[in-house]
Structure 1
Amino acid sequence: QNLEALFLRRTGITDGGLSAISGLSKIRAIDLRNSNISDGGMEHLSGLKTLVDIQLEKSKLTDTGVARLKGLPLKSVNLNYCTSVSDASMEVLGTMPTLESIQLDYSKVTDAGMAHVAQMKNLKRLRIRGCDVTGEGLKHIAGLIKLQRLELRDSSLDDAGLEIIAALPDVNYLDISECRVATTAGMKHIAKLTKLTYLGFWETKLDDETFAEFYGLTNVEELDLKATSVTDESVPVLLKMQKLRDLNLAGTQLTNDGFRQLSGLPALTVLNVANTSIGFDVIDELNAREGLTVVEFEN
């Protein structure tokens, strides 16, 4: 009866088995990721009035099951890879003012469903990787001033969406990797997000001219520029990011001279140089620096 957290990830738990926890009066968190739990199982959770965190990633849940969670004081909902979940579930989530984190990777959520996010005034984290959401949908996050973490990788993010994001005051984590619609013009808006500590640009249209705008992003600690068009021209801006700990330059066009200069970053602990033209002698020089790990190959 005193159980507060239950971790059933990758177990054989069934919908019927969840009936055993329907009477837990203090349960706060349930992890059902990578399970065969489906809509039927949610009936047993609908009465858990203390539940604030539910993890259902890669379960068999659909909109019907999400609807059964209505009325719970949820702060965190993870529906990543629940590929049948759609805008109907967003309508249900929109009735939960307590929500601080929603994750819906590779679901069927669209711009229409994003209209319900506007009701989530306490939202701090929005993760919708692989979703067909554009600036038309993201305009509904414009008033969510508590948003800190935006994970939009492989989504339909466009320049209009980037302009909206750039006006949010507290964003410190932004991943737009594999967002192939966004152009360099839109990316320049990111320069306004001076609280950023994580920034992901992997496989985007980012180039030196755009990166030059980011000289004021001096709080960035992790930066992923893998498979972008940046060259040695971007090194002066990188050197302004004195807090950089983890820098991914795999598949970029930097030369030996550019990589050598990066040894001047005082906090750097990981530097990924896979699939670049870096020479073995430069790798040896970088490896000689205490506390720095140079990643030469990727799986």
Structure 2
Amino acid sequence: MKLIIKCTSWICATWALVLLVTLTWVRPNPAIGADKAIVVNFPKPPVGRYGIIKPAPNPDDDVILRSNEWATGAVKVPAGCFLSLSINFYGSQNTKFMSTLPSGIVRNLSCRDLEVGDKAVADLCTQKDLVLLNLQGIDLTDEGVKHLSVLKKLRKLSICDTLVTAKGLSVLRNLPQLENLNLARLTLGEAVDAPLQSLKNLTVLELTGTQLTDKAVIDLPYLPKLQTLVLRRNNLTDKCIESLYKYKTLQNLDFTDTHVTGEGLKRLKGLPNLHRITIRTKVLKLADRAQLKKLMPRLKIEEGSRESIVPTEIFAPLH
């Protein structure tokens, strides 16, 4: 009887410890108002536009409760909700306000095409729970991009049209949750493979106009979940086609304004899930198009050109 009592007491104590650890693990962050509404105070004049979103496991499924409101004065964020914030000129001149917001309250942040430099990016990254960050076209360098290393929950990132080089991309090793990455029009050349090695959750990779060569594409690392790969406006030929066979999950491939031919595209039949190719369709002969449809019946061939509204000469590969 004593043995049974002792065993029972030990089991109860063990389960009590497990329960305590579990409750500690799932306890919500009080700073983000998980249990109650929270008031966020923005400066004046408005520093941008905000929306209120209810998060979903997949950020693409987040529910928008309110959108396109001026970010100024007191804003009440309902329990369990977050902010989506798009900074304007006034916000870009006073990024210090980001550090005054409740920790973790901003889920999505856009600071696109503004005169924002490396020091300001440090202010933006005080919101360490960001899931989406758009820094397209800002004055970001290899030094400033280091600040992104604290954003461990980041799943979507755009640093296209910035001053970041292949050297600066080493920061990506600290962002293992990334699923969508836009590096368009960075000067990368053949040095893009190493920074991408750790991004095993990546599903979308945008490499438009990054001065890639066939060798750079051949050397791209294995990305087990990759579904969309954009390689437009690079000096690529049919030589790189077989190297894409490692991406068995690939569904969408963009070769617009490269030197890839119809013969090269036919070899893409080695990709079992590919169902969309984007290319300048006038480079395809009718016979090539017919053979592609025969080899890959589910394949859709989409026109990648915008020459009807933009001068044709700007679409040539960058080198």
**TM superposition score category, shorter chain reference:** 0.7 to 0.9
* Distance of 2:111 and 2:250 partners within structure 1: 29
Letter in 2 for 1:77: L
- Contact 2:248–2:271 (CA under 8 A) maintained in structure 1: yes
Q: Which residue of 2 aligns with 1:213?
A: 219
Query: Which of residues 46, 50, 53 in structure 1 aligns to 2:78?
Result: 50
Alignment pair present for 1:265 and 2:267: no
CA contact (8 A) 2:210 2:234 kept: yes
Q: Map 1:87-236 onto structure 2 (within 5 A).
A: 87-89=93-95, 91-96=96-101, 97-98=103-104, 99-179=106-186, 181-186=187-192, 188-236=194-242
Partner deviation per Cα, 1:144-179 (whole Å, 9 max, x = no partner): 221111111212222232111233221111111122
Equivalent residue for 1:31?
A: 67
Q: Count matched residues.
A: 242
**Cα deviation, residue 297, structure 1:** 5.2
One of 287, 290, 293 as aligned partner of 1:287: 293
1:159 aligned counterpart, secondary structure:
coil
Residue type matched to 1:30 in 2? R
For residues 64-97 of structure 1, the C-alpha deviation after alignment (integer angstroms, 9 at most, x for no partner) is xxxxxxxxxx432123xx34531513x2123332
Greater gyration radius:
2
TM-score, scaled relative to structure 1:
0.72
Q: Which region of structure 1 is more displaced relative to structure 2, 111-120 or 185-194? A: 185-194
2:287 aligned counterpart, secondary structure: helix
Moved over 6 A (4+): none
User: CA, structure 1 residues 94+212, in 2 after alignment: closer, same or farther (shift >3 Å)?
Assistant: farther
CA deviation digits over 1:86-117, x for unaligned, max 9? 1513x212333222221111122211101123
Task: For 1:210, give the aligned amino acid.
Answer: A
- Contact kept? 1:158, 1:186, Cα under 8 Å: no
Change beyond 3 A, Cα 1:291–1:126: same
Q: Which residue of 1 aligns with 2:15?
A: none
CA contact (8 A) 2:279 2:301 kept: yes
1:198 to partner: Cα distance: 0.2
Q: Which moved more, 1:209-218 or 1:196-205?
A: 209-218
Distance 1:107 1:51 in 2: 32
Q: Secondary structure at 1:162's aligned position in 2?
A: helix
Kept in 2: contact 1:125–1:149 (CA 8 A)? yes
Q: Percent identity?
A: 22
- 1:40-87 per-residue CA deviation (whole Å, 9 max, x = no partner) reads xx34xx14243987xxxxxxxxxxxxxxxxxxxx432123xx345315
Secondary structure at the aligned position of 2:181 is classed as: strand
Indicate conservation of the 8 Å contact 1:132/1:156, yes or no. Answer: yes
| TM-align CA RMSD | 2.6
Distance 1:236 1:215 in 2: 14
Task: Measure the CA separation in 1 of the matches of 2:236 and 2:224.
Answer: 18
Residue 171 of structure 2 aligns to a residue in which SS? helix
CA distance in 2, matches of 1:298, 1:241: 25
The residue aligned with 1:75 is 83
Query: Which letter does structure 2 place at the counterpart of 1:113?
Result: A
Structure 1 spans left out of the alignment, 5+ residues: 1-14, 16-27, 54-73
Identify if the C-alpha distance between structure 1 residues 32 and 280 changes in structure 2 by more than 3 Å, giving closer, same or farther: same
Residues 215, 237 of structure 1: 8 Å contact kept: no
Aligned to 1:57: none
Q: Cα distance, 1:284 vs. partner? A: 1.6
- Amino acid across the alignment from 1:194: K
